[in-house]
């Protein structure tokens, strides 16, 4: 959510930003907010004048009563009562207008960074850099569920009976590999100075609307019936929520946290052939990283965050690339974002395995995450988040890139301690 004062003073800049995000239907909202805000400020000004007048008239009534001028005092009392009715009406107007302004402001997209490429959708995203050599072996690589089935490592049929489509049972070595990757990612981030955290897996609605746009909320979140609670779609939600309504000492920043959680998502939309199996699912686990920092440091942390993911995947012998998200592919709260994509030797292309985002002060403004500077002045923090690793999707990249011609899967050296010292997995089928 952008600063209301900025919108008031720079309406054309806000409109141009909306055009860059190809959301022309939101252009009228800028003028609507300006008009509603003007009405709210006018109501507030009149209300303040009436409050000041009430104090003045109350003193006048006391003076008149002391002088025995009861009749004149009663006339002033009548005026006070009339003003009180008007003040009550103005307070109601202030509240209603303020709520309308806030609701609209939460749908106006954040100002994107000047470096963001302009494009309508993800087809306009721009490759930044490749890391590692993408190879295609001279033997056929099966679909990821077929690889897992060779190890008796997945049961989609039973999961379908228990929970429906979009769920899975991971078994044996594949389940152990899943947990090993999560544990390795945890320790990888701890070694890079991040504080490990296990957060709540449910959050209240005020946190949901604080960390994401209404469109994202509708597309992703599962609500608990009869409760003001939502299952998290990523631990970023509850991790950023941890700082709601706080004033943080500037000298203690940045807060760098890495968190584990299960994640739950509706995953609305078409599911193509490459999104079967464990690619697009309703439940998965993830290691996440978030940063709460000073505004002038957020660009530096953005580059550090995506580099962490690149380094982790390369340590597992998986080629990756970074992809700059264009303006039309950015969620409304994001200033800048890039995807980390892993190489799929089976598909002979890259696919998304993580996303890094700088949200500026948008989340902090919604959740009132403030910083107290050395001069005593308060300002909004900047927040960032990035995927460390999200199996089981990451397992697709791991299995394809570490598959041997005989059907075995090699275990990179860094992962072997988490796999009981195993150097490879041997298929059972």
Residue 80's pLDDT is what?
66
Percent of the chain, pLDDT > 70? Answer: 91
Reply yes or no on whether the pLDDT at 63 is more than 80. Answer: no
Estimate the share of the chain in helix, then strand, then coil, as percent rounded to the nearest 5.
50, 20, 30
User: How does residue 1 score in pLDDT terms, banded at 50, 70 and 90?
Assistant: confident
Under 8 Å between Cβ of 390 and 289? no
Q: What is the CATH number of domain 4-105?
A: 1.10.287.40
pLDDT of the residue at 222: 93
Q: Which residue has the tokens 């919604």?
A: 366
Task: Read off the pLDDT of residues 238-275 as tens digits, 9 standing for 90 and up.
Answer: 999 999 999 999 999 999 999 999 999 987 554 555 55
Look at residue 364 in the predicted model and tell me its pLDDT: 97
Q: How many CA atoms lie within 13 A of 342 on its CB side?
A: 30
Q: Is there a shared CATH topology between the 4-105 domain and the 122-425 domain?
A: no
In which region does residue 407 sit, left (phi positive, over 0), alpha (psi from -120 to 50) or beta (all else)? left
> Strand, coil or helix: what is 128?
strand
Residue 216 vs residue 354, higher pLDDT? 354
* DSSP annotation string for 55-73: HHHHHHHHHHHHTT-HHHH
Paired with 340 in beta bridges are 322, 354
pLDDT digits (tens, 9 = 90+) for 334-392: 999 999 999 999 999 999 999 999 999 999 999 999 999 999 999 999 999 999 999 88
The tens digit of pLDDT for each residue in 64-108 reads: 666 777 667 667 667 766 677 788 888 899 999 999 999 999 999
Q: What is the mean pLDDT of residues 211-234?
A: 89
Give 132-174 pLDDT, tens digit per residue.
Answer: 999 999 999 999 999 999 999 999 999 999 998 889 999 999 9
What stretches of 67-171 show up as alpha helix (H) in DSSP? 70-105, 144-150, 156-162
Q: Cβ(331)–Cβ(216) under 8 Å? A: yes
Cβ(168)–Cβ(281) below 8 Å:
yes
Tell me how far apart the alpha carbons of residues 59 and 56 are, in angstroms, rounded to a whole number. Answer: 5
State the pTM of this model: 0.89
Choice between 10 and 62, residue whose per-residue pLDDT is larger:
10
Distance separating alpha carbons of residues 145 and 167, to the nearest angstrom: 13
What integer best gives the mean pLDDT of the chain? Answer: 92
User: What CATH number belongs to 122-425?
Assistant: 3.30.930.10
Each domain of the chain, given as residue ranges in start order, spans 4-105, 122-425
- Residue 270: its pLDDT value, please? 46
Residue 380 CA from chain centroid, whole number: 17
Residue 13 has pLDDT above 60, yes or no: yes
């Amino acid at each position: 959510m952008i600063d209301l004062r900025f919108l008031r003073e720079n309406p054309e800049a806000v409109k141009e930003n909306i055009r860059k995000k190809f959301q022309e239907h939101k252009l009228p909202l800028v003028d609507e907010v300006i008009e509603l805000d003007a009405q709210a400020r006018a109501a507030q000004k009149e209300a303040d004048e009436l409050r000041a007048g009430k104090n003045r008239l109350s003193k006048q009534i006391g003076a008149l009563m002391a002088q025995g001028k009861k009749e004149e005092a009663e006339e002033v009392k009548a005026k006070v009562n009339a003003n009180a009715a008007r003040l009550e009406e103005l307070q109601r107007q202030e509240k209603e207008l303020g709520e309308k302004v806030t609701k609209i402001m939460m749908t106006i997209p954040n100002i994107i960074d000047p470096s963001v490429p302009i494009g309508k959708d993800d087809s306009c995203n721009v490759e930044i850099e490749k890391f590692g050599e993408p190879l295609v072996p001279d033997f056929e690589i099966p679909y990821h569920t077929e690889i897992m089935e060779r190890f008796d490592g997945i049961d989609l049929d039973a999961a379908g009976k228990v929970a429906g489509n979009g769920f899975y049972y991971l078994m044996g070595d594949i389940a152990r590999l899943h947990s090993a990757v999560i544990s390795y990612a945890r320790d990888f981030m701890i070694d890079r100075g991040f504080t490990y955290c296990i957060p709540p897996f449910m959050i209240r609605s005020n946190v949901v609307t604080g960390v994401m746009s209404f469109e994202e909320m509708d597309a992703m979140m599962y609500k608990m019936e009869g409760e003001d609670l939502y299952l998290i779609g990523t631990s970023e939600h509850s991790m950023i929520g941890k700082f709601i309504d706080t004033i943080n000492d500037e000298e203690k920043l940045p807060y760098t946290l890495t968190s584990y959680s299960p994640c739950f998502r509706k995953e609305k939309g078409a599911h193509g052939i490459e999104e079967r199996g464990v690619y697009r699912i309703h439940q998965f686990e993830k290691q996440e990283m978030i940063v709460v920092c000073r505004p002038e440091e957020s660009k530096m942390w953005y580059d550090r965050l995506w580099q962490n993911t690149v380094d982790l995947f390369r340590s597992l012998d998986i080629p990756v690339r970074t992809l700059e998200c264009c303006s039309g592919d950015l969620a409304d709260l994001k200033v800048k974002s890039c995807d980390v994509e892993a190489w799929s030797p089976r598909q002979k292309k890259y696919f998304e395995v993580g996303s890094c985002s700088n949200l500026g002060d948008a989340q902090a403004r919604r959740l009132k995450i403030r910083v107290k500077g050395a001069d005593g002045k308060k300002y909004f923090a900047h927040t960032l988040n990035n995927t460390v690793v999200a199996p089981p999707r990451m397992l697709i990249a791991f299995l394809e890139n570490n598959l041997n011609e005989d059907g075995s899967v090699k275990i990179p050296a860094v992962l072997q301690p988490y796999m009981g010292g195993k150097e490879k997995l041997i298929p059972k089928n």
